[in-house]
Structure 1
Amino acid sequence: MNGPWRLSSGLGRAILTCGSRCAHSLRLFPRTMHFSTEERGQAGSTDYRLYFKGADGKYISPFHDIPLYAETKTEDEIPAKKSRTNGKEEVFNMVVEVPRWTNAKMEIATKESLNPIKQDTKKGKLRYVANIFPHKGYIWNYGAFPQTWEDPHHMDEGTGCYGDNDPIDVCEIGSKVSSRGEVIQVKVLGVLALIDEGETDWKVIAINVEDPEAEKFSDIDDVRKYKPGYLEATVNWLRLYKVPNGNPENQFGFNGEFKDKKFAQAIISTTHQYWKNLIQKKIDGGSINCMTTALHESPFWCREEVARDIVESEPPLTTPGPVPAEVDVWHYVNK
């Protein structure tokens, strides 16, 4: 393309607009959006941060600036209401926070500017999930759907609990071990309602559309068919993972029943709407940081140089710190 092009964004979609020499604008919807990451600080310490960049190299928020839907099907919706399809499947972007078989409890820092990924802490100590025999760390690629928010002001009728104030969580069950900060495209298969400390904490079951067996999976029953025992292991893991630290077992809504794809997509749509209300300042987000560099219509939009200054104020990447020996201990918990 010729001419001075600049990238701006509507809520949930990218808009490529030409400069002053052009009398018109074009809206382009790439099949796959590309993102990169930049590490700061020391991995294995409280100052570690993983920041995100868009395809143009500008810093973005993985919470607010990466679209929920992998691609829109129409040019007239802001935010986009429809997704790219893979055959008959809707396809969503997933931000991978924790690669399978790892233990560090990494998460999008919802209360920090630009929402980098960092390691969670409790009482000033870095958090690692325990190994529940026979598993090592997380048993899926674990992450979140961008542009979703479990509203803590809203009580879910099905669970009787309020939202947990985070983006909705995703358990990706494909064969590949993803990388921290990777943005992958997934199709949704079902959802489980975890009740974590009295809050609704949805766990969406999904599979990477690039997985060699992805075409076999259309709904939650296909997981039972082609990955026998995986759903049962998921429930047991989520129920017990805090027990080695002296906490009680987690509970579930719907008696621990996995809901199907249609139910899951309705939950995702609802939490996407809650996020829209948040980013458009229609609801008080409290301590949630809504800084965005791509969503120009949002009252939380900031200039590129502001975002750059935030990242550059963080310490440079250094050699990773030591991992505590207890991270590799196996725990045997009665089920």
Structure 2
Amino acid sequence: MSAITPASSTVDLDAVRDVAGAIHRAITTVIEGKDDVATTAVTVLFAEGHLLVEDVPGVGKTMLAKALARAIDCRVSRVQFTPDLLPSDITGVSVFNQDSREFEFRKGAVFANVVVGDEINRASPKTQSALLEAMEERQVTVDGTTYQLPRPFLVMATQNPIEMEGTYPLPEAQRDRFMARLSMGYPSRSSELQMLETHGAVSPLDALTPVTTADAVQQQIEAIRSLHTSTALRQYVVDIVSASRAHRMLRLGASPRAGLQLLRAARSRAALSGRDHVLPEDVQQMAVPVLAHRVLPTGEASLARHSTADLVRDLVGRTAVPGR
């Protein structure tokens, strides 16, 4: 295990865990019995990524996004994606001011720390593409002028993969911008019973107050970037990503961006676990959320009902772990 020995780090792990723990507890007061979902959402936030929540209606996708947004004292915007939504509604538009006799820029919904996009696959491809520059470069260019977005910046989008009528599937370039995808899943019987008791009288979102600030979150994001990753561990990430491109059940493997985001997510998970170095277990834990939505199965895999998550687990299991 000498190849992954931790090095000295300046990351204040206590501060990271305090801020992340407060956000996690706030989310779990709203989302019953979904501790792993809340953990993944917080991990993506501290990895400075974007999150795609994909599941059937009524399992709490929008509630999760709202809970995370309300837990942070920051600028929040919510966009209900519809077929008639225009790109300028997302990015903003230049309008002529009669008083000053000049054009002035009016910011769109993307100018916020947390952008909650509900049913993103209901918007036209042209409107969906308006988010590409914002999500990758954290800036918006309108009429030749570039405007920087606030930090931290997180897009949490939801979509229903079952209902296809009136929807536009996200193109691969758009899906690749999301660091992770997760599914809510149905709650357990006990959690559903608890939900009927508590949510029937009042919404738990009404009682949720901010537990931290945008500045505090950004400080921890910048600190986590310096978390130690050994050469062997970085090679492990490359091996996993490369294996996806050679897997016989995948017709499209993970992109180089996927490797970068897998390492960032692993760093975040390590810090939230109280470690100043990244272990192979961190990479393995984040592999499915980060990679499964970026790869495409072959027709043979689809006929055999192999999900992309199963295929990612398979290739991770076949990849040699450094130091073992």
- TM-score, normalized by the shorter chain, greater than 0.5: no
Determine which structure has the larger helix proportion and give its number. 2
Q: What TM-score results when the alignment is normalised by the length of structure 1? A: 0.28
| TM score, norm. by length of structure 2 | 0.28
More strand by share: 1
Larger relative contact order (CA 8 Å, sep ≥ 6): 2
